[in-house]
Amino acid sequence: MCGIVGYIGKNPALPILFSGLERLEYRGYDSFGFCVLDDDKVDYFCKEKGKISDQCHIKDSHSIGNVGIAHTRWATTGMVTKENAHPHSNQDKDIFVVHNGIIENYKELKEKLISEGYAFASETDTEVLAHLIDKYFKGNLEDAVVEAIKEVRGTYGLAAVSTKDPNKIVAARMSSPLLIGVNGDEFIIASDPSAIITRTRQIIHLDDNEIAVLTDEDFTISKIEKETRCLNVTNKEIEMIEWDIEQAEKGGYEHFMLKEIMEEPNVIEDAIRGRINIEQANAKLGGLDSIQERLRGINNIVLVGCGTAYYACKVAEYMFEEYAGISARSDIGSEYRYRKTIMSKDTAGLFVSQSGETADTLAALREMKEKGILTIGVTNVVGSNQARETDAGVYTRSGPEIAVASTKAFIGQLTTLALMTVYLGRQRDMSHVMGERIINEISNLPELAEEILALKDDIKVIAEKYSHYRDFWFIGRKYNSAIALEGALKLKEVSYIHAEGTAGGELKHGPLALIDENCPTVAICPSDSVYEKMLSNIEEVKARKGKIIAIATKGNEEIRKIADDVIYIPKTLEMLTPILSVIPLHLFSYYVASALGRDIDKPKNLAKSVTVE
């Protein structure tokens, strides 16, 4: 994996491919490559390690070919080398393939192909595809691709071109995102809308088991059947990308991450716009209308996510149980798929993913659907796999998030889950008074978030003060126990500093052994139902000479007596404090990483959308 772009049309392909890959840089990658064809010959080919921005001369090449494919690679199978970069080719170098995903049976396929005389030039699983296509090629590229992918097990989003069947791109998908951008008489294949937004906002999403054939005049999409060639698909609709290019630009900020943190009040506002019914003291979530009656019979919810999305699920556990009156449990997507779960028919699955393409979350979704469980999605991407496969869902409306470390998308998830809490609670025992109180407080959140962002210079000073420490601990309780995990994750992701997050009450059960004057603790301690308990946990840290950075409610002067530094957040309902308490943690992580000169938007070893297990 990580990013795919393909172009066919009337214009030189290379500059368009280069621009597309630049816009996919945010996904994280370690190498890249291009293949451009001019009719039946290779017009341009290169593969390199490192960053595209270091190779700007590529787009100025004299290449005139109007068909091409390109790729950014994030190493999965095989080391980071030029040989392992995509595109991969057959031995005769007349078939070229780029691929996202994992070919699980590539070793056995490779051994078989070697026994048949094929020689391999890389360590990757993708090269197997190039040789399989060559093996089945009989003059028609799409026929060969169909036969090749029938041999493989695993996931793929792929695009192939060949000088033996020129002037076409063949693309296929299985559990790895792929879309077609339509712009008059030119077509672009891509793994992410960001790659095509400068040329068109009209897209068609490929579904699993679909294959597309693109020429400079038209395209066709067919369904691959297990026992037959293909069945034509006729019901594919063109969708519109709802955001514009300005939203995907830095807007004068040094990094996308800072821009996206500063957008968090707008994200809250967009998430709640048109979704509040004051008269009924309820949330209006049109995406759930189709399952409204089924939701009334739900008594249990299993929430599934990965990374930051999982922490949103952990917060929602408390929201659903305390206010909606529903038993809730969170699972990590990669763990859920391998556990034997026992669920009754009054259970619903709720899946949270920024991209809607997170492989482990999708696998858990499909497992639940197989068992007949009601599935609900919370995602940011219209048309994503998750959005299409769940029974119903709600979009977070967070706009494009470019930095690898998720910030504003997390805020959008928490806000959306808070609205869902009201929606579910009002179906049950939540009173009109309580519903009104919650939605009024939710409505105030954008303004309260702005108050926190106004403190960014003060937070920067604190972050720089602590940037030389190599270990951190984050603690919180109840609603904010998951925010401790999120704060630690953000610091790890962008600063490369070791950080751990834990529930405050767990300190004495082991973590205190690591606390000393060289390990600061970030304590999330708003004035809520567990504030006194958090004070006790802070005292435990101070007794071990640990330094304390407190996230506290504005007006609390008591905390200054025991904390070394304090960052204040405005007062709100306890269930909504995570939406505010996480904002200073996002800023803190950003400014620590900035002080250390890290590559903040593209941290090493990480990818934005994890589409493989």
Helix axes 264-272, 408-426, angle to 10 degrees: 30
Backbone angles phi, psi at 94, to 5 degrees: -125, 5
More confident residue, 357 or 170: 170
Question: What was the pLDDT predicted at 312?
Answer: 98
Q: Could you confirm whether 2 is annotated as catalytic? A: yes
At position 305, the amino acid (one-letter code) is G
Question: What was the pLDDT predicted at 27?
Answer: 67
Structure tokens of 249?
A: 């630009």
Beta bridge partner(s), residue 301:
328, 348
CA 342 to chain centre: 28
Question: What was the pLDDT predicted at 211?
Answer: 94
Structure tokens of 283?
A: 């949330």
pLDDT at 195 exceeding the cut of 80 = yes
DSSP 184: T
Q: Could you confirm whether 608 is annotated as catalytic? A: yes
Domains recognised in the chain with CATH numbers: 2-246 (3.60.20.10), 255-452 (3.40.50.10490), 455-613 (3.40.50.10490)
DSSP helix/strand/coil, 363: helix
Question: What was the pLDDT predicted at 401?
Answer: 86
Could you give the CA distance from residue 127 to residue 139 in angstroms, rounded to a whole number?
20
Structure tokens of 165?
A: 């069947």
DSSP 146: H
Residues with Cβ within 8 Å of residue 377, at least 6 apart in sequence: 350, 351, 352, 353, 356, 365, 386, 387, 389, 390, 392, 393, 394
Compute how many other C-beta atoms are within 10 angstroms of the C-beta atom of residue 509: 9
**Three-point CA angle 110, 607, 171, nearest 5°:** 50
Task: Spell out where 388-435 has E strands.
Answer: 392-395
Length of the chain: 613
Query: According to the per-residue pLDDT averaged within each range, which of 116-125, 187-196, 222-231, 356-365 is highest?
Result: 116-125
Could you give the CA distance from residue 496 to residue 505 in angstroms, rounded to a whole number?
26
DSSP collapsed to 3 states, 375-390:
EEEEECCCCCHHHHHC
Question: What was the pLDDT predicted at 201?
Answer: 86
Structure tokens of 378?
A: 């919370």
Residues with Cβ within 8 Å of residue 222, at least 6 apart in sequence: 210, 211, 212, 213, 230, 231, 232, 233
Of the chain, the percentage scoring pLDDT greater than 70 comes to 95
Please name the helix (run of DSSP H) or strand (run of DSSP E) that holds residue 534, with its range, or none.
Answer: helix 531-543
DSSP helix/strand/coil, 120: coil
Quick one: which of 264, 258, 257 has its CA closest to 405?
257
- Residue burial 372-406, b: 16+ Cβ < 10 Å; e: rest: ebbbbbbbbbbbbbbbebbbbbbbbbbbbbbbbbb
More confident residue, 231 or 52: 52
pLDDT at 324 exceeding the cut of 80 = yes
- Residue burial 516-553, b: 16+ Cβ < 10 Å; e: rest: eeebbbbbbbbbbebbeebbebbebbbeeebbbbbbbb
Mean residue pLDDT of the chain comes to 92
Question: What was the pLDDT predicted at 605?
Answer: 79
Least confident of 175-189, 281-295, 454-468, 479-493: 175-189
Per-state percent for the chain, helix, strand, coil, to nearest 5:
40, 25, 35
pLDDT at 225 exceeding the cut of 90 = no
Backbone angles phi, psi at 20, to 5 degrees: -60, -45
What average pLDDT score do residues 117-131 get? 95
Catalytic-labelled residue, pool 59, 110, 314, 608 = 608
Start-to-end C-alpha separation, the chain: 11
What average pLDDT score do residues 457-463 get? 98
DSSP helix/strand/coil, 482: helix
Backbone angles phi, psi at 277, to 5 degrees: -110, 100
pLDDT digits (tens, 9 = 90+) for 487-500: 999 999 999 999 99
Could you give the CA distance from residue 579 to residue 77 in angstroms, rounded to a whole number?
38
What average pLDDT score do residues 283-310 get? 95
**Three-point CA angle 577, 580, 582, nearest 5°:** 105
Catalytic-labelled residue, pool 2, 35, 230, 313 = 2
Alpha-carbon torsion 487, 488, 493, 494, what sign?
positive
Please give the model's pTM, rounded to 2 decimal places: 0.77
At position 484, the amino acid (one-letter code) is A
Compute how many other C-beta atoms are within 10 angstroms of the C-beta atom of residue 234: 6
